[in-house]
Structure 1
Amino acid sequence: MIKDDSDIRRAGEPAPDRRSPRPADGHAPYGWKPLAVLAAAGFIDRFEHQLLPGVLPFIQDEWDVGDTTAGLLPLGGALAAVTLTPLAGYLADRYRRVRILAVIVLCWAVATLASSLATGFAMFFVIRLLLASSEGFYGPLSGSLLADFYPPQSRAKAYGWRGLTPYLASIGVIAGGVLGQHFGWRAAFVIAAIPGLIVAALCMRLQEPPRGLLDRPAGAAPGSPGAPADEDGRVPEARTGAARPGRGGHPRFRRQLRQVLGTPTLLLLSIALAALAFGLSGISYWTPTLIHRDHGVAEGLAASVSGAVTVIGVVAGVLAGTRLGRRWRRGGARLLVGGAGIVIGGVFLVAAISMPSLGAFAITLLLAKATMATAIPNLTAAIADVLHATTRGLGFAALHVCGAFGVAFGPLVVGVVSDATGSVVSAMYGLSVPLVLGGLLTIAAHMTFDRDRSRPPAG
């Protein structure tokens, strides 16, 4: 594995043979190509993941799988991802992130193709575990890279589009349902493997950005260990000291871990994300099945309605959240925007499930997802702001671990309750509770944001 250039240049020396960015006070000193490539990688990751809800009815019919057993697929996958996420954070803070990401995307494509070759549910389950274990790398890698490609004033936009593309990948639900109905569910996985190979090649062409360069205030010397600036270009006094390096110029891992775990804003948002992921994953995973069973429509149409609602709702929510985040970015106001959106979205969810007609259900669910999606750009940008450049990989890894647990148990709990009550609708009512809890915790994180943003780096 090729180490990061900081091992070559040591502290303060410019990296050799690297194209310098445009002035650091610009909104996109490296341009928007890095965002497009990283967003494409996230799209490929979630597109393959979203195929599963679309083809789930066909898989359950072929192998006679109940709802509880089907709910184990996301659980096993998320737990597999959790096991490697801390390693991903460690590597993201020390090695060339673009090379690691290219290898991971290539692994996704191979595992996706292998899913189409499964001869039974047990084999399919094992392949999904292997696929999910590699997915644990994307969050830490992309979160760290975006913070070094884009300065604070444009991070909400960058993280918003990065967070948007996985939800745009909900067209995978549509593709899975339509392809499964007309060509069989295996065809969906074969087709999904092709774009993964293309995106892996694009990742290899990205340059590795210097860590923390854009956190420095405008006009600072490129090689000087300047302090991270806030959204207005000011430098918090407490962060002007450079991190004491460990071996190879990197902060010592134990000090990094202590600083990450000792950041209240990150801890509150991690718990909030786990609760949010619990609710959203349960909704997304079982919505096609709910529409098929309770509204009496074919599997392909059910998947199409579910996917369209997610894409339209989340796109609208992220665009609105990005605009609000740019306008209300002082003092952690982004967290108030995101938290309020999550709480309101939880209320809309209850209303959607109660709707008797498919049209009313789809419209209200779209409103629920749109309001909750306003949190996507604002929460991620706030997390990047309270983490130092030398610990962002590990910080986003901790965040991903919490989110993975939510993703793991949401679909399983819905499946267990559905089997027990005989109604997937009854099971989904309970998802409003963790959603409201996540929104309240996000609002609470507003109170610790300014203090955490002013903390010195790990030494």
Structure 2
Amino acid sequence: MSEARERTDVAATVARVSWWPMAVLALVNLVDQVDMAILRGVLPILEDEWSLSDLQLGLLGFAFIFVNALATVPAGWVADHTRRNRLIGWTLVSWSALITLSATAVNYVNLLGARAVMGIGQAVDDPASTSLLGDYYPARLRARAFSLTQVALFVGGGIGLALGGFVGSTLGWRWAFALVGMPGSIVAVLAFRLREPVRGEADRALGVEPPPAPPDLSLKDFAGRARTELWAEVKVIFGIRTMRYILVGVAALLFTVSGIGYWLAVYHERYSGMSVGEATAFTAVVLGVGGGIGTILGGVLSDRLHGSIDGGRILLVVWSSIACTVLFLGSFAIGNVPVRLGMQFVGVLAAAGAVPGLRASMLDVVPAESRGVGASAFALTSSIFGSALAPPLVGLLSDLTSLVGAFYIVFPPVIVGLLFLLRARRTVEADAAALISALAPS
């Protein structure tokens, strides 16, 4: 078969790819996020039962994200060298069993340790899912592919938050944790049945040669290879200009987003005159529905901007972040609760519109054989320097001042993040073209 004919066949395969893998991976994200968000729904209940400070409540979120960040780069390397569908499936099965550690915690230290252990699960799922999406869908469709899977992040967060508040208020917080462990095993079955694509499959339609398939190795040889190759791949990722700018920019943005998102239900309970159930339900609608709509719209718009405006995807991220910042800052100064909720709904919608473009831009400049590590580097920097530190820091600032005061204090990093993303806009097209040129057959 000629090279042109083979490339045509690959393009036809990519064109026929269904939305099913995208849907299954969205369910994986949904299960992950429900478990993460269930904690936020029961924070006021834990505060009353164990007389916890805001700093202690914030550390519960930190434990999950910090361990997640430590595990994510090794997990990304594993995703680049094993069958990703099986990796996701077995992770979901084990995670569903481990959730019982949270449900059976007898004190604060037990729960803190249980949440830390749970952080390993998403560290494995995220790079494997990101790598699969990059191989299933070509560049022109990637933002839309990510929009569906990222919708699950917001919807799952909303479901977990509302479920935690409702079940925690009626049956107790232990039942809230116990219930979320069940769906993971069902989604695991679907993950096992996904087709494992050839690495770089979607890029072959552009004339990019796929990387060689990872060899079958014993566990000892696999671990040895990981030790020697992992650091080299990490250096490659951080050597890409656009990736450096995106990683720093996203970490700064997520510091503020995570700090406010983690505490938003508690804010409404304290300042909007709501019960725990009402606060978690309204916040779930704001985050889940607003985030879902924004992500879908952002995915479509991001793909339309791709190729028509230089760095169009990243420009969309910048303007979305500015809109979100203005709306949330204004909402904290307004006493009318319905108007406050409306502004926050639109703010979340704007912020969510930035997510697909960021993920797609990252894949555009990272080689196919390193996309798992690339996704892990994204998760590592955004977690350690962004979402992990924010919840306890906001809690500490809240103990020292007030929750609203803490929110205002953590907004300035947004400016830093936007400046770095504007730098990424200037380099993304050149880095993407350089990748295609370097990998194309001579």
TM-score (norm 1): 0.86
Q: Which runs of 5+ in 2 are unaligned?
A: 218-224
CA–CA separation in structure 2 for the residues paired with 1:252 and 1:412: 35
| Equivalent pair of 1:341/1:439 in contact (CA under 8 Å) | no
Q: Distance in 2 between matches of 1:35 and 1:122?
A: 38
What does residue 285 of structure 2 align with? Answer: 308
Alpha-carbon distance between aligned partners in 2 of 1:311 and 1:279, rounded to the nearest angstrom: 18
Match of 1:108 in 2: 95
Distance 1:217 1:179, change over 3 A: same
Return the letter of the residue paired with 1:178: F
Match for 1:451: what amino acid? Answer: A
2:184 aligns with 196
Alpha-carbon displacement from aligned partner over 1:206-227 (angstroms, at most 9, x marks no partner): 1211000210126xxxxxxx41
- Aligned-partner Cα distance in 2 for 1:299–1:243: 52
On the 8 A contact 1:291/1:358 being kept in 2, the answer is no
Which of residues 300, 303, 306 in structure 2 aligns to 1:329?
306
Q: Are positions 1:261 and 2:238 aligned together?
A: yes
Match of 1:61 in 2: 48
Tell whether the 8 Å contact from 1:269 to 1:445 is kept in structure 2 after alignment.
yes
Match of 1:352 in 2: 331
Q: Give the direction of change, closer, same or farther, for the CA distance of 1:246–1:126 in structure 2 (3 Å limit).
A: closer
**Does the CA contact (< 8 Å) of 2:74 and 2:230 recur in 1?**
no
User: Helix, strand or coil for the counterpart of 1:31?
Assistant: coil
Q: Which whole-Å deviations, capped at 9, do the CAs of 1:165-221 have from their partners, x for residues lacking one?
A: 111112211111111111111111111111111111111111211000210126xxx
* Paired AA for residue 162 in structure 1: T
1:381-413: CA deviation from partner (whole Å, max 9, x where unpaired): 010111111111111110010121211111111
Structure 1 residue 441: Cα displacement: 2.1
Deviation at 1:137, TM superposition (A): 1.4
Determine the C-alpha separation between the residues in 2 that align with 1:318 and 1:447: 24
1:295 is displaced (CA, Å) by 1.9
| Structure 2 CA distance for aligned equivalents of residues 404 and 75 of structure 1 | 9
Name which of 90, 108, 112 aligns with 1:121: 108
| Contact map agreement 2:328 2:343 (CA 8 A) in 1 | yes
Tell me the distance in 1 between the aligned counterparts of 2:248 and 2:12.
Answer: 33
Q: Distance in 2 between matches of 1:276 and 1:359?
A: 26
* Deviation (angstroms), 1:357: 2.2
Gap regions ≥5 residues in structure 1: 1-11, 13-20, 219-225, 229-241
Picking from 226, 248, 251, the partner of 1:274 is 251
Moved more, 142-151 or 256-265: 256-265
SS in 2 for 1:51: helix
| Structure 1 residues 457 and 274: CA distance shift in structure 2, 3 A | farther
With the length of structure 2 as denominator, give the TM-score of the two structures: 0.89
- Counterpart of 1:118 in 2: which secondary structure? coil
Q: Distance in 2 between matches of 1:32 and 1:322?
A: 15
Q: How many residues align?
A: 418
Contact 1:275 1:434 in 2 (8 A): yes
CA distance in 2, matches of 1:398, 1:436: 22
- Give the 3-state SS of the residue equivalent to 2:11 in structure 1: coil
Separation in structure 2 between the aligned mates of residue 375 and residue 335 of structure 1, nearest angstrom: 8
More helix by share: 2
Letter in 1 for 2:426: M
Contact 2:200 2:368 in 1 (8 A): yes
Please tell me the root mean square deviation across aligned C-alpha atoms, in Å: 2.3
Aligned equivalent of 1:412, options 392, 399, 403: 392
**Letter of the aligned partner of 1:426 in structure 2?**
G
- Answer yes or no: is 1:48 the counterpart of 2:35: yes
